[in-house]
Amino acid sequence: MPIIVADCLSKVYPVAIKQPGLRGTLSHFFKRQNRLVNAVKDVSFEIQPGEVVGFLGPNGAGKTTTLKMLTGLIHPSSGRVRVADNIPFQRNRAFLEKITLVMGQKQQLLWDLPAMDSLRINAAVYGISDREFKRRIGELTEMLSLEEKLTQPVRKLSLGERMKAELLAALLHQPQVLFLDEPTLGLDVNAQVSVREFLKSYNERFDATILLTSHYMADITALCDRVLLIHQGQLIYDGALDGLLDHFAPYRQVKLELKQTMPEAELAPYGEIESISGREVCFIIHREDLTRAVAKLLAELPVCDLTITDPPIEEIIGRVFKAGIVE
C-alpha cells in the first residue's frame, strides 16, 4: 500500500498586477488586479514504503510547492493527497510524528546554543523519554560522526557539521517519511558524500521513505533508483533513473582520440560535435544511426581510440528542460 499518494494535485496562486510609479501604486490600492499562476498542475504519483525517490526540476518548476503540500504547510487548490494514512493539511499530531521536512536553506537549531539544547527541546515536543532520547542520540551521532560536536554552539560548527546536526534534529523522532529539500546545498564535496552515506544507511536501517530534491545530480544517482521530473508545474517523467536514457536521450556519446588534430569544419559532417579538445572529439549521434556513423568514423578518420557511452544524467535532464518536453 503506498505511503504517499498524490492524485491530480494542483496549486494556483493569485499574483498582484501592479504598474510602476505613483499612479500604478494608487491604482493598485483602490482597484486590485490579480493574475493566476499555476505553480503545480495535476501532479499524480504514488510512493511505496521504503522507496528513495528523486524529485527533479529547474528553479520555479514546482518542487518546493509540491513538498509543502505533501507536508501540509500549504493547502492544495485541487486534487487529493495522503501521506502515511493522513491528510497533510489537517496537521494532526499523528501525522506530524510520522514525517519530517529538511530544507537546506532553513535551520531549526538555535544559533548561539549547543545543538544538544535544541535537541532536548525537540525531545520534549515529541514526548521522548530521557532514556529513549539518549539511545537515539547515541545511535544517530554514531551514524553521522558527530561525537563531541553537539556540546558546541551551533555557530562554531562547520557548514557540514551544522547540516548533520540539522538532520539529527529532524530525525530524532524517527519519522517514517523524510521530505528533503536540497539537504546538501552549499556543502563541500566531502560533506555531501557524508550526508548521502548517512541517508542511505538511515533508509536501510529504518526502512524510511525518502523524497529528495537536489540540484546535485550526484545526490540523485547515489541514492535514488526512481525519479520524478517536474517542469512548469507538470510531471513529465515518473520512472527508473536508468529509464531517462531511453525516454529522453535517444542518442549516444561517441568519443574519439585522433592521431592528429583536425579542424571542426572537417569533422562536422560526421555528426553533432559536442566538444573538441586537441585530438579528442566528442560526437552526439542518434542510436539508430550509431552503427553506420561509427563505421564511417573508423574508415575515414585517423582514429587512435573510440569509446561509446550514454550521456551524463545531468546533460539528459538539462536537454529535457531546455526543450520543454512534456508528455
Sketch out the chain's domains with CATH numbers.
4-245 (3.40.50.300), 250-309 (3.30.70.980)
Instruction: Choose among 250, 235, 327: nearest CA to 290.
Output: 250
Q: What is the pLDDT of residue 79?
A: 96
What is the structure's pLDDT at 228?
Answer: 94
User: Region 107-125: what's the mean pLDDT?
Assistant: 90
Does 267 have pLDDT greater than 90?
A: yes
pLDDT at 291 over 60: yes
33 has a pLDDT exceeding 60: yes
- Spatial distance between the Cα atoms of 296 and 325, rounded to a whole number of angstroms: 32
Q: Return d(Cα 241, Cα 293) in angstroms, integer.
A: 27
Question: For the residues 287-305, what does the mean pLDDT come to?
Answer: 92
> Given a cut of 90, is residue 149 above it in pLDDT?
no
Cell numbers standing for residue 187? 556543502
Does pLDDT of 132 surpass 90? Answer: yes
Tell which wins on pLDDT, 29 or 168: 168
**Closest by CA position to 229, among listed 218, 244, 219, 208:** 244
